[in-house]
Amino acid sequence: MSLNRLQKIISDSGLSSRRKADLLIKQGRVTLNGRQAIVGEKADPYSDHILVDGKDLPKKLSHKVFLLNKPYGFISSCQDNHGRKTILSLIPSHLRLGLHPVGRLDYESRGAILLTNNGDLTLRLTHPKYSHTKTYLVWVKGQPSLSILDNWRRGIFLDGKITMPARIEILDKGNQKTLLKVILKEGRNRQIRRTANLLGHPVLDLQRISISNININGLVEGDWRELQANEWNSFIN
């Protein structure tokens, strides 16, 4: 008998991320051997009967990871109640089964985002304790002083908690604007935009160019490619 947490079993089936699987259990939408499942309990995916919304889990899918160069004006979600365009719509329909975004880029931002059916990979790339870097090119309004950039590097308070140290480099200066290279090891909600606003230099344009060692070189906006296993296996091994 091989026992695993229910949220891992659901995630491994490709139905959802672990976080979403946890929510499905909390919402009472998962049953285990005919009774409502409980968050944190374990099951055997081969001998126990697990249903989500009354349906059997999909047969285990082979793990897939796609790198997408997200354009402006798409949300980082599989669906949207307000009818906005989603990044999933940029992937051919026959490849979408079980895919979910790894983290997010906000509606106004562009650049690298991963989609996968691998819950373990999603956890490793989004949980702060693993500290994978993400690199951004950011045009901000005005010309921030060295002291302001040092404050950003050291960390500032967002939501009552100081941000992790960041690497900031000035790449270019234009007419009342500055291009920064920003490297983060965490990804709080709209972190760069909120930090820049607090420091008095709002973001004019934001593009993520890499996630750890995976970059969007040669990938035009709106295009995607499937990653080879050797490009992402190191994140979970």
| Alpha-carbon distances, residue 37 vs 28, 47, 151, 188 (angstroms) | 7, 15, 47, 31
Tokens describing residue 87: 């990044």
Exposed / middle / buried, residue 87 (Cβ in 10 Å: 0-12, 13-18, 19+): buried
Rounded to the nearest 5°, which phi and psi values hold at 36? -65, 130
Whole-angstrom distance between the N-terminal and C-terminal Cα of the chain?
23
- Which residues form the catalytic set? 106
